[in-house]
Amino acid sequence: MYRRLCALLLSLTLLWTAGAGAAQAGPGKRVHNGMQILFSPSASYPFCTIGAVGTDRYGHRIAVSAGHCLSDPAYADREIHDDVAPVYDRADPGFGPIGHVRYFKDPEGSRTGHITKDYMIIELVPQVTLSSQGPYLKQTGVLEVPGGTASPNAPLPALDTERLLATGVNELVVSGQTGVWFGTVMANTGGIYRSPAANLAGDSGGPAVWHVPGSELPSEANGFQAAGPWAGITKAITFSFPPFEYTSSANILADLRARDAATPGGVHGAGFEVTTEP
């Protein structure tokens, strides 16, 4: 049993109405992991967070967040080709949309057998600049786990990017409203990691990276900064211990590949790679 974070109970039709009169995006905005996002420019709460930024195999500029941030059965779990669901920088909604939602997993579906697929794909507008550097975390590519256990979402044979971290010996470093935290992966249920690394409502979709053994952990001495490959996104606070859940990047990338293979013309986000831009 778990409690959802930041479920924005808005229909995409209402989101389109709210965004229709927004200003056109101008040049120069940097989009990065840890950026807080809105789905209507007229309300600063509730909100979600970007977990990773990069490009897909089709050349689309992509941001990844949590699927449960939206709820509309008419649009859930399918490609959204029209710009009906704009996304805004919470710190600067007047800039206009930084992108548009192309896919999200409906939260009701996530409760009934699709818990492993809680993600959202946002196609970013051409006017923004991609960055691998968030407020606390620099993402150095996508996590690869040679020979590890495959995500349940993976078409077989699974790729190294679709394999899961072992529990008890790997640490996640995450960031959100309260700063940056790290903690061991204590449990792994279908590619959903549980860790003492903390999050709050609104951090949904936010970044988690793998702590590379021997690399610096965030501390006062290094400005609470850390670097590592993208390992997942914030999912939920639960009643279990430790209470904080994260959807693995392996689950997201595997599901994207499976959906891409089954969809004529492909899907946004397939073959996602974290940007190398600073």
Q: Which fold has domain 137-251?
A: Thrombin, subunit H (2.40.10)
Can you give the pTM of this predicted structure? 0.90
Q: How many CB atoms lie within 10 A of CB 44?
A: 13
pLDDT score of 114: 56
Higher pLDDT, 52 or 28: 52
Which is nearest to 23 in space by CA: 82, 81, 98?
A: 98
**Greatest alpha-carbon span in the chain:** 51
- What DSSP line would sit under 71-94, residue for residue? --TTTTTS---SS-SEEEETT-GG
pLDDT score of 193: 97
Mean pLDDT of 126-150: 97
- Residue 18 CA to residue 88 CA, distance in Å, equals 11
Tokens at 41, concatenated: 């420019």
Return residue ranges of the chain for CATH 2.40.10.10.
2-20+29-130
Question: What CATH superfamily classification does 2-20+29-130 receive?
Answer: Trypsin-like serine proteases (2.40.10.10)
End-to-end CA gap in the chain: 39
* Total count of residues recorded for the chain: 278
- Bridge partners of 86, per DSSP, are 100
Assess whether pLDDT exceeds 70 at residue 198.
yes
CB of 104 closer than 8 Å to CB of 6:
no
- Residue 123 CA to residue 126 CA, distance in Å, equals 9
- Residue 167 CA to residue 242 CA, distance in Å, equals 13
pLDDT score of 115: 83
State pLDDT tens for residues 22-41: 334 345 799 999 999 999 99
